[in-house]
Amino acid sequence: MFNLYLQLGFEHLLDLAAYDHLLFVIALTVVYQLSEWKKLLVLVTAFTIGHSITLALAVLDIIQFPKEVIEWLIPVTILLTAIYNLITNNNISKLNVKYIAALFFGLIHGMGFSSFLKSALMPGEEHLLVWQLLAFNLGIEVGQLLIVGVVLLANFIVLNIFKLKKRNWIILVNTVVMILCIWIMSGLLE
Amino acid sequence: MIIFLQIFSLLFAHDIHLTKAQVEVNAAEQSVQVSMHIFLDDLEKVIQQETGFTETMHLGTEKEVPEGDSLLAVYLANHFLVAANEQPLSFSFVGKENSEDLLALWCYFEFPLSGIPTKNLTLTNNVLMELYGDQQNIITLQGPNKKRDYLLFQVDKATASFSY
């Protein structure tokens, strides 16, 4: 049981056919380099706290929300993150704003995760809910860390081996993220 | 306002490509009994795609076409397979009902064991997989000795075994 929900969480985050959460983690990570891992850790933790809270509250039926609105808000969080990356130089003075935003965006993504997990729960297994929740959340974390690792590695290769200017790389990645994000939004209109 | 909300919700298709099923090996009734939760819009789409049936079937509603159950049964029989000792078991449709939110069907079907002595089942579950590359079908299994197992079926791994 634990393994199944762990795997569902992991694959849900890495699902290439529904890549909204994936895009968000990429946008969150792309402005960092390996040497800044501490700041990134705090940022990713803020996002994780956010989505863990709403995932748990929604799955335990303590909060309810219109799924349709969340489906729209998720790409909005990605767009805002990408725009922020494009218009700022990731300067330290604004970091606190960034942490709060990551926490808040986490709350939104958590509600998105909960729609999926809820549809994966079997009737009559309510007594296992806490374990299913924990496993699913853990799966999401592992997936998230994997993406962070891959993006940091890509940053390292592009900036240090191919010697691309950091600013150009950030513009390139965030532009692609924004295009994919608009693509997701147009899909929601179908 | 209500109309606005209805139109608003129609604009969005759910993006959850997941079915779930509970499978129980019932020793007393000598049968493998399945209840499976499948989203209705996907089910309509995949049956039309596979059978070439062009009408809207309105499955699970008052307007359901007369062929509804048989089309559904044929689809499920082709995509949910159970074998005992490598011997395929025959599919038998039991019935269906709407999920509470009316977005999905609970489909009930069984596979009579007909006295085959077995402690090992092989299941294939590729329901909806021709529709979505990221389709995931999950199953909880319960053997006659109350042993439980959980299985995940995906495009690259649509067959799994259960021993009890």
- pLDDT tens figures, A92-148: 556 688 899 999 999 999 999 999 999 999 998 999 999 999 999 999 999 999 999
Residue B151: list chain A partners with CB under 8 A. Answer: 4
With DSSP H G I counted as helix, E B as strand and the rest as coil, what are the percentages for chain B, rounded to 5?
20, 40, 40
pLDDT, one tens digit per residue, over A36-45 is 888 899 999 9
CB contact under 8 Å between B15 and A120, yes or no, is no
CB contact under 8 Å between A120 and B12, yes or no, is no
CB contact under 8 Å between A190 and B13, yes or no, is yes
Confidence of residue B75 (pLDDT cuts 50, 70, 90): very high
Is the model more confident about A114 or about B13? A114
CB contact under 8 Å between A3 and B150, yes or no, is yes
Confidence of residue B100 (pLDDT cuts 50, 70, 90): confident
Confidence of residue A149 (pLDDT cuts 50, 70, 90): very high
Q: Is 70 exceeded by the pLDDT of residue B14?
A: no
CB contact under 8 Å between B12 and A11, yes or no, is no
Distance from C-alpha of A190 to C-alpha of A181, rounded to nearest angstrom: 15
Task: Return the residue of B nearest to A122 by Cα.
Answer: B20
B11, B140, B150 member nearest A189 (Cβ): B11
The residue ranges of DSSP E strands in A37-185, in sequence order, are: none
Q: Is 90 exceeded by the pLDDT of residue B7?
A: no
B24 forms beta bridges with: B33, B142
The whole-chain average pLDDT of chain B stands at 88
Confidence of residue A15 (pLDDT cuts 50, 70, 90): confident
| DSSP-derived 3-state class of residue B146 | coil
Is the model more confident about B115 or about A122? A122
Mean per-residue pLDDT for A169-187? 90
pLDDT, one tens digit per residue, over B25-66 is 998 889 999 999 999 999 999 999 998 888 889 998 889 999
Question: What ipTM goes with this model?
Answer: 0.83
How many contacts (CB atoms, under 8 Å) link A and B?
Answer: 51
- Mutant choice from B15, B42, B45, B132 vs A, greatest count of A C-beta within 10 A: B15
A166-173: long-range contacts, CB 8 A cutoff, minimum separation 24: A167/A89, A169/A30, A170/A30, A170/A31, A170/A85, A170/A86, A171/A86, A173/A26, A173/A27, A173/A30
Confidence of residue B12 (pLDDT cuts 50, 70, 90): very low
What the block records as the tokens of B40 is: 């209705």
pLDDT, one tens digit per residue, over A133-142 is 999 999 999 9
Task: Return the residue of B nearest to A120 by Cα.
Answer: B20
- What is the least distance, in Å, from the CA of A98 to any CA of chain B? 29
Smallest CA-to-CA distance from A81 within A27, A155, A42 is with A27
What is the Cα gyration radius of chain A?
17
Whole-number pLDDT of residue A95: 66
Whole-number pLDDT of residue A94: 62
Mean per-residue pLDDT for B74-102? 94
Whether A48 and A83 have beta carbons less than 8 Å apart is answered as no
Q: What region does B85 belong to: left with phi over 0, alpha with psi -120 to 50, or beta?
A: left
Whole-number pLDDT of residue B5: 45
Smallest CA-to-CA distance from A152 within A30, A8, A16, A66 is with A30
pLDDT, one tens digit per residue, over B135-150 is 999 999 998 888 889 9
B12, B136, B138 member nearest A71 (Cβ): B12
CA distances, B146 to each of B61, B85, B151 (Å): 36, 20, 16
| DSSP-derived 3-state class of residue A184 | helix
Smallest CA-to-CA distance from B58 within B48, A112, A93, B50 is with B48
Residue A75: list chain B partners with CB under 8 A. Answer: none
Domain residue extents for chain A: 2-188
Whether B53 and B47 have beta carbons less than 8 Å apart is answered as yes
Confidence of residue B77 (pLDDT cuts 50, 70, 90): very high
Whole-number pLDDT of residue B55: 86
Q: Is 90 exceeded by the pLDDT of residue B95?
A: yes
